[in-house]
Chain A
Amino acid sequence: MTVMGLVVIAGVLAAVISCAAFLVWFERRLLAFFQERYGPNRVGPFGVFQVVADIIKLFFKEDWVPPFSDRAVFVIAPVFVVASVLMSFAVISFAPGICAADLDVGLLFFLAMSSLGVYSIVLGGWASNNKYSLLGALRGAAQMITYEVFMGISLMGVVIMADSFNLKKIVEAQEHLWFCVPQFLGFAIFFIAGVAEARRIPFDLPEAESELVAGYHSEFSSMKFGMFFLGEYLGVTLISSLIVVFFFGGWLGPAFLPPIAWFLIKTFFFIIVFILMRGSLPRPRYDQLMGYGWKVLLPLALLNLFVTGAVVLVWQN
């Protein structure tokens, strides 16, 4: 045990949470830019302090637990949503030596944590005891578990090529060629599944505001709502940084910038793609979403895994 390890843990948590908070402002500004509006530009330079104002406001809002709800579960649900996403960041290698816990089963750890993320939605919707919430929760859970299956399978091509579950080793295996080239199909499927797991537009059906009010978090107020909000932006950050780690060479890049800078640049690129998608894509129908997952993505993911395995074996002999 070293002091360095503790510093890294504190640093990772602080960086990740402030990045997610910053994204709230960043997304609004960027969306406004895409739509030829100004967006929040009053508080501080370019409106950056809007986030601080929002957080202070959220903390001072009434912390309302509905009398008709299941109190204990109602409080636990937002805890689940933030904790399950934050835990996944523990295994990500941001740069050589900057990793909170360098587990050998890092990739599986991420899959395990994202499979726990389903509970936040189901429990939140169930505990609210509100019809909209329950409908949103059921939709959300069905969507998340469907896309979780392909998410796991789409990453197996990367595992075959890197021959490890360790995220650091996966990045090191991409020294000569980023996996986005040989694993393009895997990347596409992981990206789509990632958007669905983060419940972002176009896959934000569980909280479709035009039909379900706010879905599973309709009844949440104050910081409990804020935590669902934070969980969403943490999810975007997580999926973006995992795409970078698995398919775009993590911290690797020309030497004129430090490794961590490359990691951040690549991650921010994918975060911007997420926001651009929100600004441009419509929402599919529920049955289209589910059918697309089972009928298109699952066979494609299996094909990708299978071909990758065969090619690696041929290469080896």
Chain B
Amino acid sequence: MSDYNLSLFYLLIYSTTVVILVAGMIILSYLLGGRHREPATGEPYESGILSTGSARLRFSAQFYVIAMFFVIFDLETVFLVSWAISVRETGWGGFAVILVFLAFLLSVLVYEWRIGAFDYAVSGREILKSIRKAKGI
């Protein structure tokens, strides 16, 4: 077997062992654990307060924007990764390419920053400003 196949083979053995180990833990604790049933056993834990309504809450679209940023920056990382491994081979030509690419990346970063896409809460400065205005300082 070649080196490549050998390392792949070891990886597969390793992952199988990991899966068996983890499954073993789950099954063992299922077999060993006690069982009991009382009136409040099947209730969700909310610090002692009775749960009202469904826990299937809907979330703000802000989290979607974060996930979208992540996907796109992760894709950009792929290009950075392919450049990082071939810096020596591609030389200054490759450097120029990545420079332009990074310029795109940074310009969009600056743009998002300016329009406040990374401000996840009201800024303290703004609050201070409005307090000052209200008090007439």
Contacts and interface: CB of A to CB of B under 8 A. Distances in A.
**Direct contact between A and B judged by beta carbons closer than 8 A:** yes
B105 interface: yes
B33 A61 contact: yes
Nearest to A9: B14
A132 B32 CA distance: 28
A148 B33 contact: no
A1 interface: yes
Contacts of A291: 118-120
A302 B81 CA distance: 12
Interface size class of B (residues with CB under 8 A): 35 or more
A174 B88 CA distance: 18
Interface size class of A (residues with CB under 8 A): 35 or more
A175 interface: no
A83 interface: yes
Judged by DSSP, the binding face of B is helix
B120 A290 contact: yes
B63 A142 contact: yes
A295 B118 contact: yes
B45 A9 contact: no
A152 interface: yes
A280 B49 CA distance: 33
Contacts of A287: 119-121
Given A129-B56, A287-B119, A101 B10 contact: yes
- What 9 A-B pairs have minimum CB-CB distances, sorted nearest first? A223-B29, A287-B120, A287-B121, A63-B33, A101-B11, A156-B84, A145-B70, A101-B10, A159-B84
Interface of A: 1, 5-6, 9-10, 12-13, 17, 58-64, 66-68, 75, 78-79, 82-83, 86-87, 90, 100-104, 108, 115, 128-134, 138, 142, 145-146, 148-149, 152-153, 156-157, 159-160, 163-165, 213, 218-219, 222-224, 226-227, 285-287, 290-291, 294-295, 298-299, 302, 305-306, 309-310, 312-313, 316
27 contacts: A1-B1, A5-B6, A13-B14, A13-B17, A13-B21, A61-B33, A63-B29, A68-B44, A86-B18, A101-B14, A130-B44, A134-B57, A146-B70, A149-B70, A157-B84, A159-B81, A163-B85, A164-B85, A219-B44, A224-B29, A290-B120, A291-B120, A306-B98, A309-B84, A309-B87, A312-B88, A313-B88
